[in-house]
Structure 1
Amino acid sequence: MFELIKKAIKINTLKLITIAFVFYISCAFIIYFIEPDNFKNPFIGLWWVMTTVTTVGYGDYSPVTYVGKIFGIFLYLTGIGLIGIILGKIVDSFTLYRRLKEEGKLSYNGNDHYVIIGWSTKARKTLDEILQNNAADRDVVLIDQLDKTPFEHNNFYFIQGDPTSYEILDKANVLRSNSVVIFSPEEEDEVSADGKSLLIASSIESYGMEHDKDIYTIVEMIRDDDVRMFNHVKIDEFIPSNDAFSFLMAKSMQHHGSSQLFMQLLSKRFGDDLWMVKPDPTWKTFRDAFNGLRDRGANLISANNDLSIIRRLDEEIPVDTSLYIICNKETYHLIQQAW
């Protein structure tokens, strides 16, 4: 018996479940043939078998003959042990899945998600901000060469590996992502960090071109002078790592209290915030957009990255224009639902 159990443990889960299924069906027919008056059909036999091996034991059906009871003892010794092994393998499968997920070995199959490349203090703060105020409830996928996931959240996934590898980009499903953000490594000098970001950005561009897909890429740059090195690489946005703090300090010195305004626009934790919407199809000019958004409680401040929109209200809205507005979350959702 013990040798049989040891061999059963070594069988893969799918094969073991198949064997168990055949075994329980066979037992159902056997008890039906042994006591046809007591077990009216094989289904009732199967009901008794399953309530027996799962130790539920309702007692609505049970063997009454000596042969039937001996067969019941055989079922106790074999069937209960078999289902115990199956349950153990299922638990082991969940444990294995969790371990592989923590180690970043599993592929991500979702879409319209955010991809973060490079784990750092800034990446952690960015992740906290996204997950805390995730209006679209999008998942976030991290690509890094860490040994295990640095963060636990239902909407967070970790892919372990080299972000310049097409195989790793495939596992992160980058082609179907909303955007990819590349963070500079903290442990390297400025030149090496920007050089590594350039290499990763070039790999992503090449990967997208190979699949005829435009991947929206945002890159953190430590040295502003290095932006010119990216002229041959299609980067959608550059975020200066060091200059942003200096610019914010300068604005605060010139206009007292302005830092609070910038912090409110940068984080969704404070009341009104900056949002992006697509124009209503009925709007022809920016004035139509301005008035329509104002009536719903939102301020139009920019068309794409053009802040001079207030002086061009009578111009027609170009195709594929993105409008940036300031309002609270409730107003934003109402606008999204309206068109």
Structure 2
Amino acid sequence: MFEIMKKIVKINTPKLVLFTFLFYLASAFIMYFLEPDNFQTPFNAFWWVMTTVTTIGYGDYVPRTVPGMVYGMVLYLIGIGLIGIILGKIVDFYTYFGRLKMEGKLDYTGKDHFIIIGWSKSVQKTIEEILLSRDIETDVVLIDHVQEAPFRHDRFHYVQGNPTDQKVLRKAGIDTARSVSVFALDNSSDVLKDGRTLLIASAIERYAIEHQKKIYTIAEISHQDHIGMFQHAGVNEFVLSNEAFPHLMAKALLHHGSTRLFMEMLNHTYGENIWEIKPVSSWRTYREAFDALREQGANLIADGSDFTIIRRLDDPIPPDARLYILTDETSYNNLTLKE
């Protein structure tokens, strides 16, 4: 029996499942043949076989003849062993699937997600901030060369590979991504950082042209003199590395405690946050939007990157407006934006 089980374990899973099903089905007909009065139908016999091999044993059907009991013993020895082997293979499959996911070897099949290229501690903070956001609940897909996923979250997916490879970009679901952001390498010169980022951005632009896709690309740039090259590569938005730090330090020196204000606006773990909302069609001017939002505990602060709307509240709101408000999470969730 032990030698038989060793041979069965070596059978590939589809053949093993088929063999097990045929064995259970044959066992049902054998039991029905041995005790037709007891089991009444082959299905009743099959029900007894399945409750026996899964060790549930309801006791509604039991063998009553010696031949039936003898075959029941055979079923105990072989049938329970087979179900154990199959369950073990199922566990192995999930373990293997989990290992492939951790190693970044599985394709991302979702859509409307963020793709982030490059891993570092600062990137981790960016990902955490995105996942904490209640404004947009979407997945984050990381492309990098690390051996396994450096971060774990239900909405986080890792793809291992070269981000200039079109196969890797497709694996990360670039065709359906909301946007792609390329982060600069740590511990490298500005030229090396921006050179790598530019190469990746160019690969993304080439992919977009070849497949006729519109891909919104954001790039971290180490030196502002390189912005022109990134514009030529089709990058939509730029973030200069460490650009905010000297300005924040200057503000802290000039106005003690002012950094707390900026942290609250940028980090969702603090009280007041910046949220994007869609303008209501009944709002004709910024003033109408400002007053409606103020009554609900929110401050209208900008339209896109334009912070001057406070000085021109009577201007009409354009159709493509992107309004940003400042409020806490509770007030944001309770906003009633009626048409």
Alignment of 1:13-52 (within 5 A): 13-52=13-52
Three-state SS of the structure 2 residue aligned to 1:109 is: coil
Give RMSD over aligned pairs. Answer: 1.8
Shift of the 337–102 alpha-carbon distance from structure 1 to 2, 3 Å rule, reads farther
Three-state SS of the structure 1 residue aligned to 2:38 is: coil
Shift of 1:256: 3.2
Check whether the contact 1:54–1:80 (CA below 8 A) recurs between aligned residues: yes
Amino acid at match of 2:17: I
Q: Which residue of 2 aligns with 1:113?
A: 113
Alignment of 1:55-134 (within 5 A): 55-134=55-134
Check whether the contact 1:114–1:139 (CA below 8 A) recurs between aligned residues: yes
Shift of 1:19: 2.3
TM-score of the aligned structures, taking structure 1 as reference length: 0.94
Unaligned runs of 5+ residues in structure 2 are: none
Q: Which residue of 1 aligns with 2:10?
A: 10
Alignment partners' CA distance in 1, 2:5 and 2:45: 25
Alignment partners' CA distance in 2, 1:135 and 1:9: 50
Shift of 1:338: 4.7
Alignment of 1:127-146 (within 5 A): 127-146=127-146
Shift of 1:337: 6.3
State percent identity of aligned pairs. 51
Alignment of 1:305-324 (within 5 A): 305-324=305-324
Aligned residues: 339
Alignment partners' CA distance in 2, 1:276 and 1:12: 53
Report runs of 4+ in structure 1 exceeding 6 Å deviation.
Answer: none
Shift of 1:192: 0.6
Superposed CA deviations along residues 227-268 of structure 1, whole A, max 9, x for unmatched, are 122121222321111221111112223333321111111101
Q: Which residue of 2 aligns with 1:284?
A: 284
Alignment partners' CA distance in 2, 1:239 and 1:69: 76
Shift of 1:38: 0.5
Three-state SS of the structure 1 residue aligned to 2:164 is: coil
Superposed CA deviations along residues 19-56 of structure 1, whole A, max 9, x for unmatched, are 22222122112211110001011121011101111122
Q: Which residue of 2 aligns with 1:208?
A: 208
Identify the range of structure 1 (66-75 vs 194-203) with the bigger mean alpha-carbon deviation: 66-75
TM-score of the aligned structures, taking structure 2 as reference length: 0.94
Shift of 1:3: 4.0
Q: Which residue of 2 aligns with 1:156?
A: 156
Amino acid at match of 1:58: Y
Check whether the contact 2:135–2:275 (CA below 8 A) recurs between aligned residues: no
Shift of 1:220: 1.2
Check whether the contact 2:113–2:179 (CA below 8 A) recurs between aligned residues: yes
Identify the range of structure 1 (3-12 vs 92-101) with the bigger mean alpha-carbon deviation: 3-12
Alignment partners' CA distance in 2, 1:99 and 1:315: 56
Check whether the contact 2:275–2:324 (CA below 8 A) recurs between aligned residues: yes
